């Protein structure tokens, strides 16, 4: 996978397929600490000890459609290539949390990519699942919580596929502003 945002989509996909009803996605970027951290936590059934130990083995999978599970092995490889690693915490009944850490400035770190498209696709694609997304760059962050946006009485539904494009655009704009350190409509310039 070319972008880390695709790994996020993949991890969230795994969580939903495993039966999660709430998926929390956190991205933290810090140039000061030379660190990029991605965390996907779910409230799914969790993994038993023996599965957890062999998680990065591409030939271990809980799926039944095919016998290889590549998602996590690919992510672990991408993280190790960029001076980081992957950690999975899980217990039966207690959900699963996958954390991937990268050195932000590492030359082999894959680009983060279009996280906005990933989040919008998840929200529209899984109307029965709630998503919490937080993205922090240095000390600033943006957030979205579908539980707070699901106010059916007011006639708007975040999972309405017609709104997905608008949600992606909102996120893209806010992320752009975040990357510029909170300034409006200018990039790479300090005085505007």
Beta strands in 43-104 (DSSP E): 85-90, 96-102
| Binding status of residue 172 toward other proteins by CB under 8 A | no
Q: Which is nearer to other proteins, 103 or 180 (CB)?
A: 180
Token pair in block for residue 46:
């969790």
Select the span of 19-27, 30-38, 102-110, 157-165 touching other proteins (CB under 8 A). 157-165
Q: Which of 118, 130, 131, 137 binds other proteins (CB under 8 A)?
A: 118
| Binding status of residue 144 toward other proteins by CB under 8 A | yes
22 — phi, psi (to 5°)? -140, 125
Residue 123 CB neighbour total at 10 angstroms:
25
Q: How far is the CB of 165 from other proteins (least distance, A)?
A: 5
| Binding status of residue 71 toward other proteins by CB under 8 A | yes
* DSSP 8-state code for residue 176: H
Q: Are 125 and 163 in contact (CB under 8 A)?
A: no
| Binding status of residue 88 toward other proteins by CB under 8 A | no
Alpha-carbon gap, residue 55 to 23, rounded angstroms: 20
Alpha-carbon gap, residue 141 to 127, rounded angstroms: 25
- Interface residues with other proteins (CB under 8 A)? 1, 6, 9-10, 13, 17, 63, 65-66, 69-71, 74, 114, 117-118, 120-122, 124-127, 140-145, 148-149, 151-152, 154-158, 160-171, 174, 177-178
């Amino acid at each position: 996978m070319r972008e880390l945002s695709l790994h996020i989509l993949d991890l969230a996909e795994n969580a939903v397929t495993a039966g999660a009803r709430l998926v929390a996605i956190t991205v933290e970027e810090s140039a000061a600490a030379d660190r990029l951290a991605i965390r996907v936590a779910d409230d799914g059934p969790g993994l038993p000890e023996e599965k957890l130990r062999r998680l990065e083995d591409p030939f271990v999978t809980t799926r039944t459609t095919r016998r290889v599970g590549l998602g996590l092995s690919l992510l672990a490889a991408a993280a190790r290539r960029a001076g980081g690693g992957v950690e999975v915490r899980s217990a039966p009944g207690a959900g699963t949390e996958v954390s991937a850490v990268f050195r932000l400035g590492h030359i082999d770190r894959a680009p983060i990519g279009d996280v906005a498209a990933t989040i919008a696709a998840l929200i529209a694609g899984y109307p029965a699942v709630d998503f919490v997304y937080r993205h922090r760059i240095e000390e600033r962050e943006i957030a979205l919580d579908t539980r707070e946006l699901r106010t059916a009485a007011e006639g708007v539904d975040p999972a309405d596929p017609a709104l997905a494009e608008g949600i992606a655009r909102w996120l893209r704009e806010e992320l752009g502003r975040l990357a510029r350190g909170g300034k409006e409509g200018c990039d790479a310039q300090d005085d505007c």
